[in-house]
Amino acid sequence: MKSELIAILMVLTCSLIACATSTPAPPTPTGAPAPGILVLEKEITLPADGQVALAVRASAPGAAWNRLDAEAATISVHVDGAYKSDVVLFRGETAFTYETLVGELRAGKHHIAIYREPTKSAAHATQVRVDEIAARVFARTDPLYQVMAHAPILYGRDESRSSDTPLFMYHEITRDASATTIQYTIIFSNEDGGTAADALMARWGRLTDIEWVYRVTLNANGEITREEFQDKEHKTALFRGTKERQHPFLKDVTRNNLFADTGISAWRFALVPTETLPDAAREEMMDQHPWMYRVMAEEWEREKQSLTERAADPDTRAVSDPRNYLYVEFRSNPASPTCDAKLAFEAKLRGSDRWYASDHATDSLRIQSQGWRRGAIELPPGTSEEQIEALRFVAYPGKNSPNCALTLTDVRKIFLLNQDYAPGSSLLTWRGQQVLDADDSTPAPANFVAPVH
């Protein structure tokens, strides 16, 4: 039977208080935390066996991701009495559709219960409203069935209710004659440790954290032949942990969101990796879902990490409002595997001779890249698309191979964020082959200027 989308549109008019006094909660599964306050329960009917994703349209009146102690309410999702996942309502009062994977279910009726979790919610985020629920079944004949069946379940950190929250998961598939490999990547709302904020913006064009978490290889019969995850040292390790059916459990164990295949926590996230990364930088997934830029910016605002910069100033390395930046996506490759030359880029505004630089003349803010990368340049607040006249790429020597070259092959897009944090139209697309070399003794230039039309 083909998979199908079941739209169970349940327009709920009950408030949190009214819902909380309804039918008693189902029994708590052994080993799972006791659920909180019941917000909604409903029976659904599935037409086929398969992996099931729920789309829950919900809001948290009075909550706001940029407000301390009111960041978000958290709900837990239970199916047939079993605890399946937590969902942090990071869009606050704005009604938003949150997706969560609840695993393999049989065709027929199932009991869905949604609880508000006071101990996992901000002190002043005391209400939850659920407006709609939709269930999607990925049957075994669905091309995405294996992707869903092996998707990891993540144990979050204590801070997950307000910081470094898992927002989104996507997948990538590689195939050869005998095997299929599926890799899963999570986008987190921030990273509390690891790369500093100024380097995140200059070298990655974001304040979110994007990490691959789990990789599984299947043979032609769909049997697992290899499982790997990214460990706390950014190394690839063999997965030897526990599973729920074929879903591996991994735990976020560092402040820069890296993983272990042992241990548990009070937080259980089961994101739905329906989308795959196109031939682009990883940040393209944020462009396709611009709400992540807003969550990123609101978390930055709340955490007050930019207090050293009272007003936005492109002359400093301090990070200001993400809407003050020009985002640049490009592709380059070094002359050899040992080449550690770096790139930075600069923007010129019309009517001015000044070039605003991504690296602030600092080596640690330059990009050592192979393939698609994203970065950003801080510009004066209020800069419009029409003011941007040219983009310049500049090569810098590496420490180990100062005389090696880079080849720039693509500028996929450059853009500003609008006031709603959505990427504007691309101001520049370029494709060619430009060799850049910081060595004055070679004919290759150290920089390349692309005019913006």
Q: Using one digit for the tens of pLDDT, what is the confidence trace for 297-311?
A: 999 999 875 445 567
Q: Which CATH class is domain 1-139?
A: mainly beta
> Phi/psi of residue 53, each to 5°?
-115, 135
> Phi/psi of residue 198, each to 5°?
-65, -35
The domain spans of the chain are 1-139, 143-303, 306-451
Give residue 101's identity as a one-letter amino acid code. Answer: L
**Percent of the chain surpassing pLDDT 90:** 85
pLDDT score recorded for residue 326: 98
Detail the DSSP E strand segments found in 268-370: 268-269, 325-334, 342-349, 355-357
Give residue 231's identity as a one-letter amino acid code. Answer: D
Distance in angstroms (rounded) separating the CA atoms of residues 207 and 78: 32
Tokens of 200: 């995140």
Terminal CA-CA length for the chain: 52
| DSSP bridge partners of 136 | 5, 53
Q: How many Cα atoms sit within 13 Å of 160 on the Cβ side?
A: 25
Mean pLDDT of the chain: 91
Tokens of 199: 């380097």
CATH among 3.10.620, 2.60.90, 2.20.25, 2.60.60 for 306-451? 2.60.60
pTM score of the predicted model: 0.92
Domains 1-139 and 306-451 are alike in CATH topology = no
Is residue 152 within 8 A of residue 247, CB to CB? The reply is yes
Tokens of 325: 């930046």
> Phi/psi of residue 279, each to 5°?
-75, 85
Is residue 407 within 8 A of residue 434, CB to CB? The reply is yes
Is residue 343 within 8 A of residue 366, CB to CB? The reply is yes
**Using the 8-state DSSP alphabet, how is residue 365 labeled?**
G
Tens digit of each residue's pLDDT, the chain (453 residues) = 444 443 333 333 333 333 333 333 433 444 467 789 999 999 999 999 999 999 999 999 999 999 999 999 999 999 999 999 999 999 999 999 999 999 999 999 999 999 999 999 999 999 999 999 999 999 999 999 999 999 999 999 999 999 999 999 999 999 998 999 999 999 999 999 999 999 999 999 999 999 999 999 999 999 999 999 999 999 999 999 999 999 999 999 999 999 999 999 999 999 999 999 999 999 999 999 999 999 999 999 998 754 455 678 999 999 999 999 999 999 999 988 889 999 999 999 999 999 999 999 999 999 998 899 999 999 999 999 999 999 999 999 988 887 889 999 999 999 999 999 999 999 999 999 999 998 888 899 999 999 997
Distance in angstroms (rounded) separating the CA atoms of residues 195 and 213: 18
| Strand order across the 96-105 sheet | 5-6, 129-138, 50-59, 96-105
